[in-house]
Amino acid sequence: MAIRIRLGDYERVTGDVLGRDAIGCFPRMTEAEALEAGRGVWRLDMKIVSRERFLLITDAGQGLVRAVAEITAVTEHDTDRGRKKALEANLLGPGHPMYDTYINQPDPLANDSRNSVKYGDLPEELPFRTRDCACGCGGTTTHDFVPGHELRAIQARVREHFGGSVLSFITWLDAELPPAAPAS
Ligand SMILES: [Zn+2]
């Protein structure tokens, strides 16, 4: 999933936990300025946000994407309005599919909510999405399995159900499934 953060109106701040003297958007802000203004601080669910990889910052007025970044860390901060979080992220640039698709384009996760923070799935992040390895080892991968773990997964099943005998497994499989059409 990706996280979308919508900037508010420009506002000078004092005592900001991220050391900024202003937040919100202003005309002709750079991508770096948009990221710095939007990366915190927010009330974020650590469980959800720790699974996010990409961050889109949109502006308040036009709802256009002003920065696209890859999240590297989530930090926690005590503020006068409770414990909040900020994102550490590196800006992405031309050539990256997330950047090329969304920069300066309308917010792909736009909704009617007043909440600045929105989570959502975007098709361009699919090749980058990490998930749990299907073998159950607890590792994460951008594919179905951590490399080599597809064999592990098969071997575990052969061990569990066929006493470790690949022959028994094959015999069972052939009896269970109709013959496949011959490859042409
Ligand atoms: Zn695995």
List pLDDT tens digits, range 39-60.
Answer: 999 999 888 888 888 999 999 8
pLDDT at 10 over 70: yes
156 Cα to the center of ligand 1, angstroms = 11
Banded model confidence at residue 156, pLDDT cuts 50, 70, 90: very high
Kindly give the residue spans of alpha helices, DSSP state H, lying in 27-123.
31-38, 46-49, 97-102
Domains in the chain: boundaries: 2-129, 132-176
Nearest to 33 by CA among 2, 69, 62: 69
Average pLDDT for 82-111: 95
61 φ, ψ (degrees, to nearest 5):
-75, -65
Residue 42 burial (CB count, 10 A): 16
165 Cα to the center of ligand 1, angstroms = 21
119 Cα to the center of ligand 1, angstroms = 27
157 Cα to the center of ligand 1, angstroms = 13
Share of the chain above pLDDT 70, in %: 99
96 Cα to the center of ligand 1, angstroms = 28
Question: Tell me, what's the pLDDT at 20?
Answer: 96
Average pLDDT for 132-139: 90
Kindly give the residue spans of alpha helices, DSSP state H, lying in the chain.
31-38, 46-49, 97-102, 149-162, 166-176
Banded model confidence at residue 70, pLDDT cuts 50, 70, 90: very high
pLDDT at 184 over 70: no
Residues 6+ apart with CB under 8 A from 101: 122, 124
Question: Tell me, what's the pLDDT at 39?
Answer: 96
160 Cα to the center of ligand 1, angstroms = 17
Average pLDDT for 143-148: 88
Question: Tell me, what's the pLDDT at 178?
Answer: 82
* Furthest-apart CA atoms within the chain: distance in Å: 73
Residues in the 5 Å CB sphere of ion ligand 1? 133, 135, 137, 139, 146, 149
